[in-house]
Structure 1
Amino acid sequence: MLPGLMQRTVQGYFSEAKWLKEGYIPTFEEYISLAAETSAVELITSVAFLGMDDIATKEDFNWISTNPKIINAARLIGRLMGDIGSHKFEQKRGHIPSAVECYMKQHGVSEEEAVEAIMEHVANAWTDVNEEMLKPTAISMSLLERVLNYSRVAHILYKDGYDAFTEAYKLKDQVVLLLKDPVPLQE
């Protein structure tokens, strides 16, 4: 399963490289479709499950490949938040168009309007994550929490339109708060 997920991710990167080379700006929907593959959420989730061998079963790994709603939502949150936070920097260094540029071109809107519309997609994705966390599933809550935590991290790294993945110093205040007022761990 993991080799197949890795292969799909790499094939997605190859398609993005072709877009860049050709100067192609896809529609927002085309972009989102490919971004779902290159977000690597299924791959990251599978790797996280590997570390939980006492909990994760073969059925749980198979569940990931069934395209569950929560995985799709995590893809959108990660990719769209990342695009909003990093698109200006990425365009300066020569990168494929982000969701922001794709949306702007397709709909003929300003950057601000594109970001606003994309944030609606993010809000809808969060609704999907919350719904999936509240309803019983075939996999354990411990495993679902891995997908939830991926979404949380992506949201924090790119919230307020900045890219704390590339510029980690932007998380300094949050890290200081954790050290000053540590969050108690559950046992």
Structure 2
Amino acid sequence: MVENFIGVGVAFQPKFGYFRRVVSKVFAVITIIDDIWDVNAIDELPDYMKICFLALNNFVNEVAFDFLKENGRNIILHIKKVWVDLCKSDLVEATCSTNKQDSIRFEEYSNVICYVLTIFRLVNDLGIAKREKVTGDIPKSVECYMNETGASEAKARRQINSLICETWKEMNKEVSNSSCSGSFMEVAVNLVRMCMCEYQHGDGHIVQDDETKKRIISLFCQPIA
């Protein structure tokens, strides 16, 4: 339900039904294959993981086909390039560099995308750092700051929160002064809001806390008085 919760929060208007379906699929796929993707090792994977990557491949082709029908433009190579870059390097750096070089004029939107992904990454880190430290995952921004500066965890978390606030300010400036699509800007800002909502009380995506459950039930199950 969390994936649908995010989609509704990002774009709730009835006309964006297709967008919500795609976003739900994207977050479902990301949740499943997060941190296990290696494009050079697909043939070596067990069958159950090959099925997952086949589903990903089919999903990408489906989105590209829908875009081709609606806009007359084949974006499959661009999608694959972005995905491969994301698998090889940092999420923010890969997306920013790819968008600036992309032939579909993504450069107009790259600043906003970078701000969104920066906040998303930092908020995610704050929410999942403690859980993934126990499970032995890669260090998050909190641990990186602690290792680099010798700061306590509390101070490191304050610093990450400060970076989030500053990035929010820069994104607000960009959105206010931008001539880009208003719908795009609204979705971008709402995505950040939903991310902060999801990780407000910890890892509300994987380990869904009571508050996240209450919000989902209130949105989808309880009638509006």
Question: TM-score scaled by structure 1?
Answer: 0.66
Cα pair 2:129 2:142 within 8 Å, conserved = yes
Cα pair 1:83 1:100 within 8 Å, conserved = yes
CA shift in 2, pair 1:35/1:140, >3 Å: closer
Larger radius of gyration: 2
Once the two structures are TM-superposed, the CA of residue 68 in structure 1 deviates from its matched residue by: 2.7
Q: Which residue of 1 aligns with 2:168?
A: 126
Q: Which residue of 2 aligns with 1:150?
A: 191
Cα pair 1:41 1:74 within 8 Å, conserved = no
Mapping of residues 8-157 of structure 1, within 5 Å: 8-12=85-89, 34-37=90-93, 61-63=104-106, 65=107, 68-137=110-179, 139-157=180-198
Structure 2 residue corresponding to 1:7, chosen from 77, 84, 89:
84
Question: TM-score scaled by structure 2?
Answer: 0.56
For structure 2, the residue ranges without an aligned partner over 5 or more in a row are 1-77
Once the two structures are TM-superposed, the CA of residue 125 in structure 1 deviates from its matched residue by: 1.1
Q: Which has the higher contact order (CA 8 A, sep 6+)?
A: 1
The runs of at least 4 consecutive aligned structure 1 residues that moved more than 2 Å come to: 40-43, 65-69, 175-183
Once the two structures are TM-superposed, the CA of residue 42 in structure 1 deviates from its matched residue by: 9.4
- CA offsets per residue over residues 28-87 of structure 1, 9 Å max, x none? xxxxxx34247x6999x9xxxxxxxxxxxx97x422x56732112111111111111101
Count of residue pairs the alignment pairs up: 144
For 2:148, the aligned partner's letter is Q
Q: Determine what percentage of the aligned residue pairs are the same residue.
A: 24
Once the two structures are TM-superposed, the CA of residue 2 in structure 1 deviates from its matched residue by: 1.3
RMSD (Å), alpha carbons: 2.9
For structure 1, the residue ranges without an aligned partner over 5 or more in a row are 13-33, 46-57
Cα pair 1:42 1:71 within 8 Å, conserved = no
Once the two structures are TM-superposed, the CA of residue 128 in structure 1 deviates from its matched residue by: 1.8
